[in-house]
Amino acid sequence: MFFAGSDKKRLCHLFNQHSACALSARLSLLMFVMFSGAVSFAASPVIPADQPNSVQPNIVLIIADDCTYRDLEVYGGQARTPNLVKLAEQGMQFDRCFQAAPMCSPTRHCLYSGLYPVKSGAYPNHTMAHDWVQSIATYLQPAGYRTFLSGKTHIGPRAVFPFEYSGQGNNPDLDAIDAVLGDCSAQETPFLLIAASNEPHTPWNKGDASAYPPSSLKLHPILVDSPDTREAYSRYLAEITYFDDQVGRILALLEKHRQVQNTMVIVLSEQGYSFPFAKWTCYDTGLQSGCLVRWPGRIKPGSRSDAMVEYVDIVPTVLEAIGLDRPDVLDGRSFLPVLTGNASTHKKYVFGLQTSRGINAGPEHYGIRSVRSERYRLIRNLTPETTFVNAATNDPTFRTWRSLAADGDAQAASLVHDYQHRPAWELYDCVSDPWNRSNLIDDPSLVEIRRELTDQLDRWMQQQGDNGQETEMLALTRMPRHTEATEKPPASPKKKKGKKKAR
């Protein structure tokens, strides 16, 4: 069941008011076409074209949880994902999409707010944004949008994220989504739907693991080849296929309610899996994400982009697609020109951070900061003298890695050591070394690259108010469950609400 933020009378008034506006806009558009001979985009044959087009596009954002993008079939992975493959054929696939934090809560705050984690205040896990922060819900609602989130939340406070909420546990409630899409379709109300899955987050107990026999799997070079690893990896792949089925069911509901043609669908894989060297790290496997976008008539079917984009860019992209101004407070920039084929590049650098203070089974502190160019990733470990620990090192699979290392397995020994003991600085060639295993920080031929990336990282941290280790030690003040912690809220930056562009 959904819980709206206002009573039924106010909602009905809003919806009826919007319907009249939408009807007037459509009549104006029809007259323009009749008298000017305007030509419309042709729909892809695999996209149903039986629903009306409205001036304001609907937005559907579907998010996986702890899913290494390289494991998706559409990115060459072993997890079978027929619905994602079909979606990519109907839209654009991004090969270099990144998020700013390799953990669930800061990632979702960043995604929904358009702000990097330290600036929003939501930089540790199980966190909350500052009270002054606004979200995509607060930007879209004044434009007549119904905004609802079904599934995993991991965000707060609710005043900053005033969605209508529903869910079956931490997964989307398809019945509730069906009902709301039906209401929006009947009343011609534009909508934002966020369907936030909990898959393939551990414990990897959904889907058909028998479809992925452990002995037949090809393991990533950052995984120790052991029976335990293979069995766990099999269950993880099965849960990705389970997520793909969720995607298919949501897309089918759009078809049922004739809301395909005027809806932008974005699917994101989130951070990497909870095996080592992915989630909770700033390596590419931790911060790089799958991203598929479909928007019939606006995005060329089957297109692919290597433009560097970030989760922080999603909010401004949606605002531009709808016709709203970009608030000055946002960190992200719209990549709508990339989606529509009017640009091939977007950003020169992308940024990331990991705050380990306060995470489950984590250390007292272990802060990581990172910047990536098109080719190189620079990582700064704030306290390299600290042993890196988290839920992954506390997992039975990792304990088997330690046992293998003690028994003389060279690969296991190398991976166990390198995961828990890191130098102050790391530099990787992400083209020749996509798994970030060969540290080039002391390579004399890369001195200028290191200087360039260090300058960019320092500048970003300064812009964000990130004081490094001092910021790390304040992490508990940004976590509601640590009630003993107190913080004096920072001054609110000047805010500018999204306003409708003149047409």
Residue 15 has pLDDT above 60, yes or no: no
Residue 490 has pLDDT above 80, yes or no: no
pLDDT at position 481 is 86
Residue 308 has pLDDT above 60, yes or no: yes
- Rounded to whole angstroms, the Cα distance separating 370 from 457 reads 7
Q: Do the bridges between strand 191-196 and strand 164-166 make them parallel or antiparallel, or are there none, so unpaired?
A: unpaired
Per-residue model confidence as pLDDT tens digits over 309-319: 999 999 999 99
Tokens of 105: 């809560």
Going by pLDDT thresholds of 50, 70 and 90, the confidence category of residue 503 is: very low
Tokens of 61: 């954002």
Average pLDDT for 399-420: 98
Tell me which residue of 350, 416, 349, 352 sits closest to 379, measured CA to CA. Answer: 352
Residue 17 or residue 193, greater confidence: 193
pLDDT at position 495 is 44
Outline which parts of the chain fall under CATH 3.40.720.10. Answer: 56-340
Per-residue model confidence as pLDDT tens digits over 451-465: 999 999 999 999 999
Residue 470 has pLDDT above 50, yes or no: yes
pLDDT over 70 percentage in the chain: 85
Per-residue model confidence as pLDDT tens digits over 62-98: 999 999 999 999 999 999 999 999 999 999 999 999 9
Average pLDDT for 121-136: 98
- Rounded to whole angstroms, the Cα distance separating 297 from 442 reads 49
Residue 387 DSSP code: P
User: Domain 56-340, CATH 3.10.20.90 — does that match?
Assistant: no
Residue 41 or residue 256, greater confidence: 256
Tell me the residue length of the chain.
503
DSSP states along 296-359: TTTS-TTEEE---EEGGGHHHHHHHHHTBPPPTT------HHHHTTS-S---S-EEEEEE-TTS
Residue 263 has pLDDT above 90, yes or no: yes
Tell me which residue of 102, 71, 427, 98 sits closest to 281, measured CA to CA. Answer: 102
Residue 395 has pLDDT above 80, yes or no: yes
Count H helices and E strands in the chain, helices first: 14, 13
Going by pLDDT thresholds of 50, 70 and 90, the confidence category of residue 47 is: low
Average pLDDT, the chain: 90
